[in-house]
Chain A
Amino acid sequence: MTTAILALLLSAGLPAGTVLSLDAAQSEIRYTVVHKLHQVEGRSREVEGKAVVREESLVISQVRVPVASFRSGDANRDSHMLEAVQAGSFPFATWKGVIRLGPGGEVPAAPAVMDGEVEFHGVKRSLSVPIRITAQPDGSLRVQATFDVSLDAHGVDRPSLLFVKVNDACSVAVDIVLRR
Chain B
Amino acid sequence: MTPSTPVPLVALCAILTALSPSRARAEVRLLDQDLVFHAQATGGTPQAEPPAQKPPALDFDLLGPSKAAPAVDDSTLRLRRTLLDWHQGIGLGMFALQLATTVVGQLNYDDKFGGANTNKYATTHSVLAYATFATFVTAGVLALVTPAAPQRRDGFDRIDLHKIAMFTAAGAMAGQIVLGIWTSGREGNQNQQSVAMAHLVLGYVTLAAVGTGVGALVF
Contacts and interface: CB of A to CB of B under 8 A. Distances in A.
B154 to A, nearest CB: 6
Interface in A125-169: 161-162
Given A79-B150, A115-B56, A66 B62 contact: no
A45 interface: no
B69 A68 contact: yes
A62 B151 contact: no
Contact of B152 (A58, A75, A116, A161): A75
Contacts of A80: 81
Interface string A66-101: 111101011110111011001111011000111000
Interface string B72-93: 1111011011001000100010
Interface stretch (A3-11, A48-56, A105-113): A48-56
Nearest to A74: B157
Given A82-B77, A83-B77, A76 B149 contact: yes
A162 B214 CA distance: 11
B163 to A, nearest CB: 11
Given A74-B158, A76-B159, A89-B74, A83 B62 contact: no
Contact of A71 (B80, B81, B154, B158): B154
Given A68-B151, A162-B218, A79 B70 contact: no
Contacts of A60: 56, 60, 62
A51 B60 CA distance: 11
B145 to A, nearest CB: 16
Most buried by A among B61, B80, B150, B219: B150
A64 interface: yes
Contacts of B74: 83, 86-89
Given A76-B149, A79-B151, A82-B77, A87 B72 contact: yes
Contacts of B118: none
A74 B219 CA distance: 13
A126 B56 CA distance: 12
Given A76-B158, A83-B74, A92-B69, A62 B153 contact: no
A50 B158 CA distance: 37
A46 to B, nearest CB: 9
A175 interface: no
A71 B58 contact: no
B51 interface: no
Contacts of B149: 75-76, 78-79
A37 B214 CA distance: 13
A41 interface: no
B63 interface: yes
Contacts of B56: 58, 60, 98, 115
A60 B55 CA distance: 12
A162 B217 CA distance: 10
13 contacts: A68-B69, A68-B150, A71-B154, A75-B149, A76-B159, A79-B150, A80-B81, A82-B150, A83-B80, A87-B69, A91-B72, A96-B60, A117-B58
Interface of A: 37-38, 48-52, 58, 60-62, 64, 66-69, 71, 73-76, 78-80, 82-83, 86-89, 91-92, 96-98, 115-117, 161-162
Interface of B: 55-56, 58, 60-63, 66-67, 69-75, 77-78, 80-81, 84, 88, 92, 149-155, 157-159, 217-219
